[in-house]
Amino acid sequence: MQERSERTRRRLVKAGAEMFQRNGYAQATLGDIARTAGVTKGALYFHFASKDELAEAVQQGGATLLGDAVHELRAYGASPMQTLVDITHWLARTLHDDPVIPASFRITKECAGRQPAGTDFHRAWIDAVCTLLGEARDAGQLRSGVSWASAESLVAAAACGIEVMAGTGMPYEELRRRVGALWELLLPCLVPAGTATRLRTTVTDRPAARGAAGRPRESALQTVPSRDGRDVPEFLGSAV
């Protein structure tokens, strides 16, 4: 019974994300969300007392996916700077593959200033990016003479620009190419001379790996050789 309830809740969060992404927070109705999820409005109200609660659940889901992706990338032992590059590619992929991520950005923008304040996915994204950049600085991976304020502002602006480009309807392959080109330009400005070539700026996506239950694994990765011969993570796919 509990498992069935959890499945219903997940369907509602996904349906909510699809409606918030497509129509915006104000125009998405609980009736449309319930129909998209294939449940009654009564079942929706059993899990969420209001549209605000459902929107908060979507943003919490986005923040969880982001945290899990960072954790998974760290598990491969890549440097903080490489993890920073990879998490921007993760964002580019999930903005196309998982409605929770673009919906989380849209809810944050459209509900700014609402009280009580809920999860701010935009803030969570910037915090994750700047934390990785700070770790790169502490590890001596930033170029001497580059001020922290300049590096943080540059990377934060570039990271947010990925979401803006995705919002134009740009095909994923083009977005992925642009993210790689962005890092080709940024890395020589950020890292010590001669070290930029040790970092990958692109990823190769393949069909999602599947777990024991036959479902796609979220943010699945595998290792592939980098330009300096070390094994590095490669994206296989994202949550659907």
Give strand ranges (E) for the chain: 221-225, 231-235
Sequence-distant (6+) residues with CB within 8 A of 152 are: 130, 133
pTM: 0.82
Q: What is the tens place of the pLDDT at every residue in 32-56?
A: 999 999 999 999 999 999 999 999 9
What is the structure's pLDDT at 223?
A: 37
| Numbered ranges of CATH 1.10.357.10 in the chain | 64-235
Which CATH number is 64-235 given? 1.10.357.10
Residue 117: what pLDDT?
Answer: 63
Per the CB < 8 A criterion, the answer to whether 68 and 217 are in contact is no
Composition of the chain by helix, strand, coil, percent to 5: 60, 5, 30
Looking at the chain, the domain(s) classified CATH 1.10.10.60 span 1-49
Neighbours of 168 (CB within 10 A): 8
How confident is the model over 20-26, as a mean pLDDT? 94
User: What superfamily in CATH does domain 1-49 come from?
Assistant: Homeodomain-like (1.10.10.60)
Backbone angle region of 119, left / alpha / beta, with phi > 0 → left and psi within -120 to 50 → alpha = beta
User: Among candidates 238, 203, 206, 178, which has minimal Cα distance to 78?
Assistant: 203
